[in-house]
Amino acid sequence: MSPEVLSQRNEALGNLDEQHVKGCIKCQLHETRTNTVFGQGNTAARLVFVGEAPGREEDLQGLAFVGRAGQLLTKMIAAMGLTRDEVFICNILKCRPPDNRDPAPDEIASCWPYLDEQLQIIQPEVIVALGRPAAQTLLRTKESIGRLRGQWHDYYISGIPMVGEATPLMATYHPAYLLRNPADKNKAWSDLQQVMQKLGMKMPQGSRRTRQG
Ligand code: SF4
């Protein structure tokens, strides 16, 4: 990627964060947040991870996936042979729902355009949706994560199939779920291996075994 294109992306993402997200009051979550959590990582990333919403640590630090689930996500990314600096990590919601409750439909509807714009700017080759709310929102479906994970889907800008080309999307379990259900780490690793194959990445030695945890 040319330095000019990278600079344009950085500027566009910076403007979106500074001018729209940081002062956003579009839904009730602005009343209880400490910080907005825009997401962070490489703006030239080939791979973007999308989670559900900031948790307590994320709200305090203003950064995505920095709590216990974030530590597991870091291990999952490392198992793929990558670092967090090589990918982009963000959430459907930019503000923490109180007590980490599920995002409400009106909150998702209000916040969704920010994520849509982030993905339009970054133009990743592959998107990984972490957990049910992210997968259901990005794919505009009510299917369970158990049915959605492990297979390729098409993500379209603004959810409209005729707008632009589809981006391949893999749904998998959220790291917070995997902390509670470690037996499913094998399935998540299988999903991530499919992502690596799609990106033409070298498979790590011993890749048939669970590597995260
Ligand atoms: S969750 Fe999203 S829409 Fe709601 S206040 Fe925060 S940034 Fe705005």
Q: How far is the CA of 114 from the centre of ligand 1 (A)?
A: 9
Which residue(s) pair with 58 in the sheet?
none
Ligand 1 atom index nearest CA of 24:
8
Residue 166, token pair as written in the block: 């589809």
Residue given tokens 């297979």 in the structure block: 151
Ligand 1 atom index nearest CA of 21:
7
Strands 40-41 and 88-91: antiparallel
pLDDT of res. 63: 98
Residue given tokens 């849509």 in the structure block: 116
Mean pLDDT confidence for 169-176:
98
Spatial CB neighbours of 115, under 8 Å, sequence gap ≥ 6: 50, 90, 91, 92
Query: DSSP assignment, residue 183?
Result: G
pTM of this structure: 0.94
CB 185 within 8 A of CB 212: yes
pLDDT tens digits for range 74-117: 999 999 999 999 999 999 999 999 998 999 999 999 999 999 99
Residue 202: band (very low, low, confident or very high) from pLDDT cuts 50, 70, 90 = confident
Which residue(s) pair with 130 in the sheet?
172
Cα dihedral across residues 38, 44, 45, 48: positive or negative:
positive
Strands 126-130 and 47-51: parallel
Residue nearest to ligand 1 atom 6, measured at CA: 95
Report the residue among 21, 22, 29, 34 best suited for mutation to probe ligand 1: largest number of ligand atoms under 8 A from its CB. 29
Residue given tokens 């379990």 in the structure block: 173
